[in-house]
Structure 1
């Protein structure tokens, strides 16, 4: 991610085709050593418009089902059934400690 972020920062800054050296400079400016293998993967983006790639990726992500709502409702139903099955015993209230035991009170 940090390599891609550096690439995008360079692109936004006006460098339409950031090189591996450029990405390395950005990362080293914040104390991160660039990984050559990851920088080579970004070479595939050379000559492509970043805005078009982001729009294309967003449309692909929109079609992926996340299933968050179904999992949440299923978990709530299962949790409710489990709570109904196991009746909790009433907990004894813990006796509050007072300063009177020590021979002085807070507002004395």
Structure 2
């Protein structure tokens, strides 16, 4: 995720097709050491694509995911005589 975020920052900063070195510079500015293999994969996948189109595509994929929760838990069974015996009123 950090590589994608850094890529997007580079694009927002004016670079149309950021290179590995551009992303590494952004990541190192906040103390993150880049993994070259992952970075290369992200740059390869994103270069030449519109960020806006990628975001829209991702939203479409998320909207098609089922997000319904599981069945509601049944309420606890009513306890019988949990309070013990009731005292009878004394009649005098």
Question: Please, what TM-score do these two structures have when normalized by structure 1?
Answer: 0.66
> 1:13, CA displacement in angstroms?
1.2
RMSD of aligned C-alpha atoms? Answer: 1.9
> 1:38, CA displacement in angstroms?
1.3
Which residue of 2 is the match for residue 35 of structure 1? 35
- Which one has the bigger helix percentage? 1
Query: Could you list the per-position Cα deviations for residues 24-54 of structure 1 after superposition, in whole angstroms to 9, with x for gaps in the alignment?
Result: 0000000000011211111221111111111
Which residue of 1 is the match for residue 88 of structure 2? none
> 1:22, CA displacement in angstroms?
0.6
Unaligned runs of 5+ in 2: 84-92
Which residue of 1 is the match for residue 89 of structure 2? none
Question: Which of structures 1 and 2 has the larger relative contact order (alpha carbons within 8 angstroms, sep 6+)?
Answer: 2
Moved over 3 A (4+): none
Output the CA distance in 2 between the equivalents of 1:86 and 1:8: 58
Which residue of 2 is the match for residue 15 of structure 1? 15
Unaligned runs of 5+ in 1: 91-108
Question: Please, what TM-score do these two structures have when normalized by structure 2?
Answer: 0.77
Q: 1:22 to 1:86 in 2, by over 3 A?
A: farther
